Homo-oligomer: A and B are copies of this chain.
Amino acid sequence: MKTLGQIAKYLDGELRGNADIAITRVVHPALVRGPEDLALVLSGNVLELLKQNQVTNAVAPAELGPIDVPNFVLVPRPRLALARLLELFERPAYSIEGIHPSAVIDPTAKIGANTSIGPNCWIGPNTVIGTGCRLVSNVSIGADVKIGNQTLVHAGVFIGDRCEIGDHVIIQPNATIGADGFSFVTPERGSVESVRPNKKTEVTSFNHEIVRVNSIGNVVIEDHVEIGAGTCIDRGTLGETRIGSGTKLDNLIQVGHNASIGRNCLIVALSGLGGSSKVGDRVVMGGQSGLPDHMTVGDDAVIWAQAGVVGNVPAKQAVGSTPAVPMRDFLEREVQLKRLPTMQRQLKELQQAVADLQKKLGQG
């Protein structure tokens, strides 16, 4: 429970109405059920709902101006206010206190104070986990792993040998950190080598034998990173695969061996980053986008959803489509393609006009 006055202060918003109202829930305006509910208004589209639901308390965008609700707080950036409100009203994932007797912890592992190890977890030899961490359940952690403080590891996560996880990291369920890289070599020239240089159509050498390249490196995840459910980050071959501090990966993302992702990146679900790819700071990658092996993406670049990158992306550039091009080029081509029917009509008209002229001049 917080008072509306406390909330207004925390949001740095402008309060109108009763500061002493007790708020117990933050809800969508459609879901307001009582006088302790606070409706969050993200846009003017829901103003009608406020009346219908007899809403008495609301947070709303300053740009809407005073709204027709007894008590309200105006804020400049409502999605930020939502984030702040959900800090106040957070409902953390349940995990047991202490170490569950069903957890299997190697005697050489070290577990920090106030760290919770849930049911059916396994922790391998020489692994060191800091203080205030939570391993929810059915988590598997190999040997020689280091985990910092205040890190949350959800159910079913695997963290492989020698990986290093920072402080305040969140790893969503069923993510895999530190599987082996997808690294193979053919003793002779392989099929892709025969078509890659000029994008040929005919394959002329063949993968009769495939030799595995073992992965002896690790994964390093810096502080304040979030890893989505089902996401897989492969270990480096010799060195490391690194995720920079503050970076957030959505669900079901593939990060190949030796990839390096900078700080404060946002990478949306089902994207794939090839081996040894190098992503700068504050890069945004849309859903289902792809970055091949060894490609570089500069700081602050934006890669649109489903884009297929085929060359290095400069800093601050937004690219889209497959093969990915700067958005300006993409839009120009779209314009050109839309003119195709007109061009075809114009061509026909010209053919007729020229035929007429030829006839007139006795060429017909």
Task: List the interface of chain A (C-beta within 8 A of B).
Answer: 26-28, 31, 40, 77, 79-80, 82-84, 86-87, 89-91, 93-94, 100, 102, 104, 118-120, 122, 124-125, 136-138, 140, 142-144, 154-156, 158, 160-162, 170, 172-174, 176, 179-180, 182, 184-185, 187, 191-192, 195, 199-204, 206-216, 226, 228-230, 232, 234, 237-239, 246, 248, 250-252, 254, 256, 264, 266, 268-270, 272, 274, 282, 284, 287-288, 290, 292, 300-302, 305-306, 308, 316-322, 326-331, 333, 336-337, 339-341, 343-344, 346-347, 350-351, 353-354, 356-358, 360-361, 363
A200–B319 alpha-carbon span in the complex (Å): 9
User: CA–CA, A351 to B265, complex, Å?
Assistant: 51
Assess the A79–B213 pair: CB atoms within 8 A. Answer: yes
Knowing A192-B284, A316-B203, say if A172 contacts B161 (CB, 8 Å). no
- What are the 6 tightest A-B residue pairs by CB atom distance, in nearest-first order? A140-B155, A94-B143, A104-B119, A254-B269, A86-B214, A179-B229
Chain B: CB-nearest residue to A170: B180
Given contacts A176-B173, A201-B326, contact A83 B211 (CB under 8 A): yes
Find chain B residues with CB under 8 A from A331 CB. Answer: 199
Q: A104-B100, A210-B264 are in contact. Are A156 and B184 (CB under 8 A)?
A: no
Partner of A256, one of B93, B172, B212, B269: B269
A361 with B357, Cβ < 8 A, contacts A211-B80, A327-B195 known: yes
When distances are taken between beta carbons in the complex, the residues of chain B under 8 Å from A89 are 216
With A77-B187, A228-B232 as contacts: A287 and B290 at CB distance below 8 Å: yes
Return A140 CB to nearest CB of chain B, in Å.
4
Q: Do the beta carbons of B172 and A179 come within 8 Å of each other?
A: yes
Contact B343 A353 (CB under 8 A): no
Q: Which residues of B lie under 8 Å from residue A160 when comparing CB positions?
A: 93, 173
B350-A347 in contact (CB<8A)? yes
